[in-house]
Structure 1
């Protein structure tokens, strides 16, 4: 077993997997929450972490002093970040916290107090500067790649899942997520919509032939057209 574990991270605002991340197995849950606060925008103080294998709940990571590796965690599992709620898995009820941000900030022996005392997460200026520089570099790389992509180009989507080839129909912003996105019309019904998302129309195609894909998951090239031989609604 390695010293690091690679997991998918999702959050309560968007149930889909948003990114992959590698963490050391000996990181404490409180410090992990601090890092996830910077990445997801969820508050470490009211954050709950749920570990899933597929759709099966494996564990609730409630012990802030425990190490990540002390849980039954394996590569490619999913860590779901729940922000500002306390989930009761047994009966499905949800109870919201009533503490104001100021009241929580004044408390001791909390996750926020732990992070501030140890200068972790957003309370570490050097770490925040490094994250900001990394974001700027990623944005620059996205912009440079976007300049080389044209509407009508053939492309391969390199994200996990079935091999998906299609034609670029849109490039630009996406109202649900930050960054540059590419609208792809697939050769086969391996998408999730018809070019419209939540009433916003980005391009036109048949139902289940379109997807909005992060620009980093796009490879442009001379890809031959795939035969449309699928009869199901696989996405």
Structure 2
């Protein structure tokens, strides 16, 4: 029953506690049997099901510009109007009726409910595909190869591949390059961990997609003629 209510109210079934009340608001019983059907309880015309949520929904609930009480945010009444065979009509306190739509969407998104579970799955599949592509690109770049790095918005830089693999400073595969000139950002180490050896400002870590390996000899800048 809790799982069906979750689709309607958006709160997790694990947070719900259901109680059955008669037409005169007299408490009948707790609906705490997970496998029991609604008809197995003493349900009659005019009964209502009261749901209490034990964990905060973390939605911004306001009425008249002020925050409502914790009890209002966490409690909703569900009224059974016509009998046990009819559909439930859901009534909520004033604060719940005024829940901002964006807050509800944020709650559903954080808890991966409704369509957001599909979006999360699509995002995970895209990230997995990107990791596989990046891993294949890195596998085609041997350590010790001459290379040229063409990062977006920067001129080509030549150097030698010194490291290929995962790192501690950022997720994904990275290529450690020792440039021919002091055009890098480090000496082959990041955050105190060394990945390869080179002089200061000669080392850099770049993504495999911007690295091309091949016959890239050191460029002659004419320094020997000076």
Compute the TM-score of the two structures, normalised by the length of structure 1. 0.48
Give the greater-gyration-radius structure (CA): 2
> Which protein is richer in strand relative to its size?
1
Compute the TM-score of the two structures, normalised by the length of structure 2. 0.50
